[in-house]
Structure 1
Amino acid sequence: MRRLGFVTLLTLPLLTSCTSSLIDLRENLDVHRSSFEEKLAGDSVKVERFKACTQQAHDGSSLPLNVAAEPPATRTAMSPVIIGSRLRTPVQALVERILDRTGSNAASLRVLSDMAGDFADPSRRKLDLDKLRLLTDAIRHWQAHLDFDEDALARDPSLFAQLLLAYNRAYFGDVRYAITPDAGAGTVRGIVQVTSRGFVDRGGNTVRFPGLSATAQVDATHAVEPTTTPINSQRVSADLTRLFLEAFFDAAFRVPAVQQATALRLPTTASPYPAFDLSHPPISLEALATVTRQALRTEAVVTSLTGKAVRGGSLFGTNNETVAATLETAAGVFAKKLVEHEGFCYFQVIQHP
């Protein structure tokens, strides 16, 4: 009996660690580790300017941001309150605006501000799988469902709604049909399907619905076989989750977009999205490339860590590949968008003293 009690005491810590919903995104053994904020260590003025920048959205009418620093004496550089709120503030502000417009249907999105707070401290970045599951459930009810109503979204003039609408349309090819005339015969030759290249994120990366054909022309005399990529639930579920998070964080942070981005082709001009202006660049092109690479690397690492956790043998593992793909994509895109915002702020601070 005493031996059984001793074994129980030994195994209890192991069971506790296996059932934790938190994923530590930073480890002490990591080599060459430094976040954008940590690169500013030792310069209290720049650290304060960086924190002030990350607490607000990038406004295209006033780039580069005018980030006045508070006196260092008023707060410590590593104050937990400031760290927790600096990324959460613009996220929470957008959630509340959405809640005001849509009512209780947006309440579940409040988990995003909590997740941003968990990620904010560069020395202790973490991801909560419980919150991640709540987030993916909320996204499913927002757009990854049957009878998604584009018309209802089009009536909402907010930037978030317009981005979500544009991103969905672009992902599904922005499908249009056009008449192809036969100039020689003076008749109509047939109908051709015209599609866009797909959704292009603010950094220029493209995601496209796999069911769209590379060539889809219906001709009265010639049958053209379209070329498509097989559709699978993992890919599509992950893509729809990506679209929502891209739209949400673009509306929250408004990091300037490259010219080909879908964000710059909104169906309405009521809420224009800021473009990366080459005549008055907020940061250098080299810095923009660095931010993009770092954001993509972050997405890759967080996607991998989350995939291991949700496919493992812990209580938070899942035997459903579609659910696993959705969770890991949500985690990766979430982290990518926060690092994009931080990186843009970092280079604005060091390149615009």
Structure 2
Amino acid sequence: MQRPAKWIFSESEKLAAMTVVIGFEGSANKIGIGIIRDGEVLSNPRRTYITPPGQGFMPSDTARHHRAVILTVLKEALEQAGLKPADIDCVAYTKGPGMGAPLVTVALVARTVAQLWGKPLLGVNHCIGHIEMGRLITQADNPTVLYVSGGNTQVISYSERRYRIFGETIDIAVGNCLDRFARVIKISNDPSPGYNIEQMAKKGSQYVELPYTVKGMDVSFSGILSYIEEASHKMLSSGQCAAEDLCFSLQETVFSMLVEITERAMAHCGSKEVLIVGGVGCNLRLQEMMGVMCKERGAKLFATDERFCIDNGAMIAQAGWEMFRSGQVMELEDSWITQRYRTDEVEVTWRN
């Protein structure tokens, strides 16, 4: 028997019924704009502000870079998705955490676009963006999350409408530790200092003992950084070891600390899944070490590559999509940014 005509939808009608969200990310040295349509990544262009070896990136210079390229990236995102502004249902942007000047730059453009296009606006927590993108790409169900980046290091698990922080760094983030060591030994920042440390570490063979600082569920990296900075000058000049050995030793030490606190959180939650997100999460050695721990526990590891681990616009679009579909809206006067925006401050209205 033929179904009633009201049940028959054309392809264009099906597409019209889907929710399309555009996301703006620019909390650090990456500027990205991504478009998501009901779990499908339609576009995700990105630009990176790269400084000379031995230098970090200043907020004002990073914001200037973002201002120079953001409209070009926006045009690319729409063209790659094959969409017009009228096809967008909601505009999402990174509210925080992050560097103030870059955050403000991107928020201003997102706010302007939302008003010009007549679309609702949503501010997204940067960490929540990483988590929701990871869940989308890997299809992890309810994982213990290790969030590791240049600005954040947290072990997270979902419970009662919040992403609860079980452990975190008490000083600097693991990515910041790696980046600052890269400056000491003048490693290139192209494409990123962490990536270049990873490649050098593959050639290292001599392990140099470094401080191992785990305090309950929390970790500390500033002491390790201070120690290896001082040791590198003596060891490299005297020929005791090579720069590759120091990169190898630093990775092995800090990644072991991260695996330890992740395993402890899994034991506490009875979890059988681990999801690694954030820029450091695409490090293959970290994934390998975490994979060994998961195998020993009969658990499963989920991770993504640099397309979705490193800061990008699609992750903000995906979190915005979840928020928008659950009924969240934001008034224009509430669309500010905050440099300190904790993961567990967000009410997760889209999960049971």
The TM-score range, normalised by the shorter chain, is: under 0.3
Higher strand share: 2
Kindly name which structure, 1 or 2, has the bigger radius of gyration based on alpha carbons: 1
Q: TM-score, normalised by structure 1?
A: 0.25
Q: TM-score, normalised by structure 2?
A: 0.25
Higher helix share: 1
